[in-house]
A and B are shown apart, each in its own frame.
Chain A
């Protein structure tokens, strides 16, 4: 109650705002409140969007970012608050109304129709028509192909959307959002499944929109992205509005301290990831996969992981990383190949057998392949071990309670109580519930497909530390991440895939940003000569073409990694 009134009201008149003086705000939210049952998700939040700005919206998991976006765009009815759009009071009754008024939104959980074609999804609800009023499929496909091509993604627009990986789906959602003239474009974690190259594309699109006077909202847990892209930032914490101001005035530590509600000194100068470094591991691989071939996806992929080792899987969208772990897990029909765990061969195509042998897979697609939305947190956590929680087919509740309690505390899962439906948790907490589900199975091999996707700084570090801890206990970990830092700092070895084949393997001193980027682009030196680490200066960086307000601030805020990352990105861009 007190916090919302004491917050400085600096969003319109505060110092250092970048807009030309007098520019009228496009969107003004004041004192938005929203509760779900007993959970108060928003407790008086303000948000002001100016034309031609990219506005970062940040906060921990469950802070209320998505809820704010949803009450603004008519997904939920707000409980209270004042909403103005172009100066006029508005309340959108449904998302379509907001869309029609010129607010395009990419929601956090990709909200497209998996069974329809990519083109159909992009033009859903506004398909081009023929003279007879039927959908002009030809024109639609042509335009969609053009649009998607402009975004630099290589997908067949006539194919089913559901066949695409999550990252490609995010790009399709972006295509949909920018295919209409909008005055406001809201993006709730658009980059969470994207590779550096796609992130760069998205940033390019965003900057173009900004130039044309569109107001953008950008939500991301990858904090260094914010300095590259955003002009101003609004920070939420536990449904309260805690800060709004220019991005350039904040450094990472201050931002994190706002988010967590801790003192800057407490937050301290942490590294980018929480990974402690390399792990000690055994000699004999516990996971041994070789010659894995999946029709038109993978050919001859091999992967060995020793107990206590973290092996990263790198690659671009569609390079076959998720397919590799799914094939190992028995979730994809393989044409050939052999997987053994601790010397025992796994039965091809049997998830249950893999699970029994001690393999667990944390899927990248939380919504479609992870949570059971209507079940409680508790039942979701215990799902994979139900038979072990039962005696003679009858569930022993006390066993489940004990297990669930352990993991709720260990992973710091935030929920009203263990009986709350999982669909009501924020994205990050859903992710933790799923990690808990898999840890319950006490795996010896843990396949993690984007484990920190969409989770906040604090939780991300917790998960990273947890991965270290698990490896320390002798777990063999396969880590897929589209964040370079995680692979470079978290993995002992990185296997890079390209078009379904193993392209390179980096370990020891070769495991650096630039080597990884080169390998990702599919231009690595011949994998045979990997004894010779290529220097970090393999390609001259091209100083020109630095985005106007891109990495400037980040370089000045003590974030070497972000700077390196940007430079490396340009390096790659210059080549591609």
Chain B
């Protein structure tokens, strides 16, 4: 903004032309500029700042093993958050992601006898199916997203418990390789996360579907009148989200080499929504920020890691997370309409 004005002023008849009003103009613009700028880039700044802080205060932070661990740990939240961002962009929300992770985990032991590949495929299918149910409820029957996915959150967890029951360890070389292996030092799970990120970015930036998703989130009524296949697009968004949740469930199961449908993915919906919102994607729909979501997930992970490294109790960590969510949502919504 200020950069934009500066040359304009120089073109005018010299500095004498800059009136008092112009000065005020400049200052005020800066202030508004800041808020928009924070909204867009705050997450990157916060992430960079927290990294700096950790470099200074956390022993052994700058250390390949530490960084590698952070990356591995962020993978599930990151993948789920990317799917969540897609749903949020349609002006929806998916509370069932944690349950879908559990469902995927519960399915694996049932089919692992046929080999890892088939077990994973079935797990992903189970996730996609759950997403199709959520999507149909929302798109065809018109149930509110929060209600539909809340129902699925409860039902899905119940089904997962029914199928899987208590924790079961999984001994399968394929699963173990997926969970712990790496190429050139990069863990497979991180590679999967990178691939998912690129795919979601591509979906958003380059495909018809991506444009239609944000259009529907921005104005569903206008989208209907413009002939967009609104039902199909919504359905797809929920399927994508659930499918990614299932991917996260599979990766976590592979890492721990155990299927734990009772606890896997608990509170994941909250972390995912937080990552999306602090990444700059508004809950009001119509926009999506893929890079921001990635940074949001990293920031959340780093906050947790910092707290752990400094022996701050979990309860405090959770409260810190709450403050961050409220702050981020305020930045997104609180100042809307008055700019």
Residues of chain A whose beta carbon lies under 8 Å from any beta carbon of chain B: 1, 31, 33, 35, 37-38, 44, 75-77, 79-81, 94, 329, 331, 351-352, 355-356, 361, 363, 368-375, 379, 383-384, 386-387, 389-390, 393-395, 437
Inter-subunit contact B218/A372 (CB<8 Å): yes
Contact B222 A372 (CB under 8 A): yes
Distance A44 CA – B22 CA, assembled complex (angstroms): 10
How far, in whole Å, are A371 and B22 apart by their CA atoms in the complex?
Answer: 34
- Residue from B12, B21, B28, B286 within 8 A of A372 (CB atoms): B286
Q: Confirm or deny: B228 has a beta carbon within 8 angstroms of a beta carbon on chain A.
A: yes
Is the beta-carbon distance between A383 and B206 smaller than 8 angstroms? no
- Docked-complex contact A372 and B224, CB < 8 angstroms: no
How far apart are the CA atoms of A44 and B21 in the complex, in Å? Answer: 9
- Pairwise interchain contact B226-A395, C-beta atoms closer than 8 A: no
- CB pair B225 A351 closer than 8 Å: yes
Bound: A371/B225 CA distance, A: 11
B214 within 8 A of A: yes
CB neighbors of A among B236-290 (8 A): 286-287
A391's closest neighbor in chain B, by CB? B208
Closest to B282 in A: A374
Main secondary structure of the interface of B (DSSP, over half): helix
- For B17, the chain A residues whose CB sits under 8 A away are 1
4 nearest A-B residue pairs (beta carbon): A80-B21, A355-B227, A372-B218, A79-B25
Q: Mark B207-221, 1 if CB is under 8 A from A, else 0.
A: 111011011001101
- Determine if B221 and A35 form an interchain contact, defined as CB atoms under 8 angstroms apart: no
Chain A to chain B contacts (Cβ below 8 Å), 15 pairs:
A31-B21, A76-B338, A76-B339, A79-B21, A79-B29, A80-B28, A370-B222, A372-B215, A372-B218, A372-B222, A373-B286, A375-B214, A379-B211, A386-B228, A393-B208
Is B28 a contact of A79 with CB atoms below 8 Å? yes
Would you give the shortest CB distance from A405 to chain B, in whole angstroms? Answer: 18
Other than A368-B219, A394-B208, give 18 A-B pairs with Cβ distance below 8 A: A1-B12, A1-B13, A31-B21, A33-B21, A44-B21, A79-B25, A80-B22, A331-B224, A351-B225, A361-B225, A370-B222, A370-B225, A372-B219, A374-B214, A383-B215, A386-B208, A386-B211, A395-B207
Residue contact B218 to A374, C-beta cutoff 8 Å: yes
B1 touches A37 (CB 8 A): yes
B residues at A contact (CB < 8 Å) = 1, 4, 12-13, 17, 21-22, 24-25, 28-29, 32, 206-209, 211-212, 214-215, 218-219, 221-229, 286-287, 338-339
Q: Is the CB of B225 within 8 A of A331?
A: yes
User: Do residues A373 and B338 form an inter-chain contact, with CB atoms below 8 A?
Assistant: no
Q: Which chain A residues lie closer than 8 Å to B222 at the CB level?
A: 368-372
Interface centre among B1, B21, B215, B338 (most CB of A within 10 A): B21
> Which residue of A368, A383, A390 is within 8 Å of B221 (Cβ)?
A368
When distances are taken between beta carbons in the complex, the residues of chain B under 8 Å from A370 are 222, 225
Q: How far is the CA of A81 from the CA of B22 in the complex (A)?
A: 10
Decide: A395 and B215 in contact? CB cutoff 8 A. Answer: no
A372-B286, A393-B208 are known contacts. Are A79 and B215 too (CB-CB below 8 A)? no
Beta-carbon contact of A373 and B219 below 8 Å: yes
Contact pick for A374, options B1, B287, B339, CB 8 Å: B287
**Distance in Å from the Cβ of A287 to the closest Cβ of chain B?**
18
Contact of A369 among B4, B21, B212, B225 (CB under 8 A): B225
The answer to whether A395 touches B211, judged by C-beta atoms less than 8 angstroms apart, is yes
Q: Knowing A80-B25, A355-B227, A384-B227, say if A371 contacts B219 (CB, 8 Å).
A: yes
Compute how far the CA of A33 lies from the CA of B21 in the bound complex, rounded to whole angstroms.
Answer: 8
Distance of A373 Cα from B215 Cα, bound (Å): 9
CA distance A162 to B224 in the complex (A): 18
- Chain A residues near B24: list those with CB within 8 A: 79-80
Chain B residue at minimal CB-CB distance from A81: B21
B218 touches A351 (CB 8 A): no
**In the assembled complex, how far is the CB of residue A82 from the closest CB belonging to chain B, in whole angstroms?**
9
Cross-interface CB contact of A351 among B13, B209, B214, B224, cutoff 8 Å: B224
- On whether the beta carbons of A351 and B227 are closer than 8 Å, the reply is yes
Residue of B nearest to A76 (CB): B339
Which residues of chain A are within 8 angstroms of B211 by Cβ–Cβ distance?
379, 383, 386, 395
Between B218, B221, B226, the greatest number of chain A beta carbons within 10 A of the residue's beta carbon is seen for: B226
Determine the distance from Cα of A294 to Cα of B28 in the docked complex, in whole angstroms. 53
Report yes or no: A393 in contact with B338, Cβ–Cβ below 8 A.
Answer: no
A35, A355, A373, A395: the one contacting B208 at CB < 8 Å is A395
Shortest beta-carbon distance, B198 to chain A, in Å? 14
Give chain B nearest CB distance to A378 CB in angstroms: 10
* Nearest A residue (CB) for B21: A80
Which residues on the B side are within 8 Å of A1 (C-beta)?
12-13, 17
* A524 smallest CB distance to B (angstroms): 32
Q: Which of A31, A37, A75 lies in contact with B338, CB distance below 8 A?
A: A75
**Residues on B with beta carbons closer than 8 Å to the beta carbon of A76:** 338-339
CA distance A370 to B208 in the complex (A): 19
Residues of B contacting A373 in the complex (Cβ-Cβ under 8 angstroms): 218-219, 286
A331 to B208 Cα, complex, angstroms: 23
| Cα(A524)–Cα(B246), bound, Å | 67
Nearest A residue to B9 via CB reads: A1
Docked pose: A80 CA to B18 CA in angstroms: 13
Q: Which of A1, A31, A363, A437 has the most CB of B within 10 A?
A: A1
Contact status B29-A35, CB under 8 Å: yes
Contact A394 B223 (CB under 8 A): no
Bound: A37/B2 CA distance, A: 10
Bound-state Cα–Cα, A82 to B221, Å? 41
- Chain A residues whose CB sits within 8 angstroms of the CB of B215 once the complex forms: 372, 375, 379, 383
Residues in chain A near residue B227, CB distance under 8 A: 351-352, 355-356, 384
